[in-house]
Structure 1
Amino acid sequence: MLSCLLLLTACHSATSSLEETETCVGYPDAQTSAYLLPYETGASYRVFQGNCAPPKAPWTHYAKARYAYDVEMPIGAKIVAARAGTVVFIREQFTDRQHAQEQGNALVVLHDDNTVALYGHLTQNGALAELGQRVEQGETIALSGNSGQSGNVPHLHFQVNACPDFDACESVPVTFRNARPNPGRLIQGERYTAE
């Protein structure tokens, strides 16, 4: 897990032998989803990179990270736990002006079913939860930022992986039961309000 997290988004920006786009399927019913949007109730943000992006710059959501979302958020916006779990990784020492691959701040939450959620590009000292802390769904856990390979666009990189080993397990399809409007998966370019 740590080797991929050290690079944050670089793990899935390597050359791919995929076609121009991938097929994304298997999304759970949004109305009964186990996940909430990873930001405060009442907040509204735009998804600027959705799932299954073409495998070429500037897009990075393909291969193992095809089910990731990038949500534009100003630096310092509150990030909440999309699902309850235990904080198993924190990195928060880099500034919002540090954009090398290994300089992405992140927080990872392990869920009870052994899936993990990655919250990436946090601001410096932006982890509000502690390592080993149990966090509840909807609890504020971090502050958004612009660290690491963010394209110099402040945003939250959010993805859920099938297991804690980011090298071995791929991201999984996620929907959010409190997204309005709620089309199922979030659509690139659209704005969603957390209700």
Structure 2
Amino acid sequence: MTCAGRAWLLLAALAVAALPVARAAKVYRWVDRQGVVHYGDSAPAANAVVGGSSRVKVIPVQAEPGAMVALRLEHDGDDYLAYADNRLAGPVQVRLSFTRSRNVVGDPLLPARATVDPRGSTLVARIGSADPANGGDFELRLDAVPGDPSARPRDFEYAYPLQGGDVQVAQGFGGGWSHQDEQNHYAVDFAAPIGTPVFAARDGTVMQVESDFDKAGLNLEKYGGRANYVRIVHDDGTMALYAHLREGGVLVRVGQRVEKGQQIGLSGNTGFTSGPHLHFAVQVNRDMRLVSIPFRMFGPRGILRFTDVSAGH
């Protein structure tokens, strides 16, 4: 008998590390030259609107982020093929496991892990009946972490990511406010007024962005894992995170190749934050664990030295 399969996807988003993919959060309304009212998720060309671009109405829409990956099940005879579809412009690692199973088995045995190429699909496991003479059913869970676990970070001197001559560190390595977990331990918060230009600290490819979040506060449950940000994957598999950008402050698109020193956004005060700043971290995937790593950075007046304030504690 064929197994009755049900699948659901768990998205884990902790602090500002495993951030999900954003969906559009603005709707545009305009009237064309024939008097027809249009709605769309992007602004129309000015010459398509009666009265020009000034007559386009922007309607804010509250939109929750979508998942980094999608779990897709396909029939193959009496079995199911479980695929992971990566929606990011960078690699992700996934782990597929049963949350409930009756008379079914995975090949390979679950939990099973796989690395999925940028915007690619990977067959993670085949789900079949353990005893074809009896029925069965199951539920699946798919966890995802950005990055390739085989990444080998190279020593690199990062450029200071903000415009301005004075470097103000609001929180450094191991800071007690929000830099205690693995994903953010080696992050640095640079104090900066809202709207300060943000630049790529290293060449790479834009992997993830969110730009439509407009809230901030100290409620971790409400704002943790939500912020406007840019995640850039580098050629050695490391990923730089630029977070707490202002609403509409992302100036690059997913999949775009950027160069060191290129402007990618505008700083802000969104998400779990006590004030305007840029949260910068270099992260790697360590077998389904997103981990921040120490980095060297050259500032406007020379090498910046970040002390791990938790060292020895």
Aligned pair partner of 1:91 in 210, 219, 227 = 210
Q: Could you tell me which residue of structure 1 aligns to residue 261 of structure 2?
A: 138
Contact 1:124 1:145 (C-alpha < 8 Å) held by counterparts: yes
- The structure number with the bigger radius of gyration is 2
Residue aligning to 2:276: 154
Aligned mate of 1:74, from 180, 193, 213:
193
For the aligned residue pairs, the C-alpha RMSD in angstroms reads 2.7
Do the aligned partners of residues 10 and 101 (structure 1) sit closer, same or farther apart at CA in structure 2, a change above 3 Å counting?
Answer: farther
Q: Aligned partners of 1:186, 1:79: CA distance in 2, in Å?
A: 23
Residue 161 of structure 1: CA displacement? Answer: 0.4
Give the Å deviation of 1:60: 1.1
Please list every run of 5 or more consecutive structure 2 residues that lacks an aligned counterpart in the other structure: 1-10, 20-154, 218-222
Match of 1:192 in 2: none
Structure 2 residue aligned with 1:50, among 155, 172, 178?
172
- For residues 57-102 of structure 1, give each alpha carbon's deviation from its aligned partner in whole angstroms, at most 9, with x where no partner exists: xx1112312100001111110000011100010011112x443224
Structure-2 separation of matches of 1:158 and 1:67: 9
Please tell me the residue identity of whatever aligns with 2:173: N
Larger strand percent: 2
Partner of 2:16: 8
Q: Give the match's secondary structure for 2:167.
A: strand
Segments of structure 1 that go 5 or more residues without pairing to the other structure are: 12-31, 189-195
1:2-41 alignment, distance < 5 Å: 3-4=12-13, 7-8=15-16, 33-40=156-163
The TM-score with structure 2 as length reference comes to 0.46
2:203 corresponds to which letter in structure 1? Answer: A
Count of residues paired in the alignment: 158
Q: Which amino acid aligns with 2:232?
A: V
Secondary structure in 1 matching 2:12? helix
The question of 1:127 aligning with 2:244 is answered: no
More helix by share: 1
Aligned AA for 1:63?
Answer: D
Output the CA distance in 2 between the equivalents of 1:51 and 1:107.
Answer: 20
Distance in 2 between residues matched to 1:85 and 1:127, nearest whole Å: 16
Distance 2:290 2:225 in 1: 20
CA distance in 2, matches of 1:90, 1:144: 14
Distance 1:129 1:161, change over 3 A: same
Aligned to 1:118: 241
Report SS of the residue matched to 2:13. Answer: helix
Q: Offset of 1:174 from its aligned partner?
A: 0.9
The answer to whether the Cα contact below 8 Å between 2:186 and 2:292 also exists between their aligned partners in 1 is yes
Larger mean CA deviation between 172-181 and 106-115 belongs to 172-181
- Report runs of 4+ in structure 1 exceeding 6 Å deviation: none
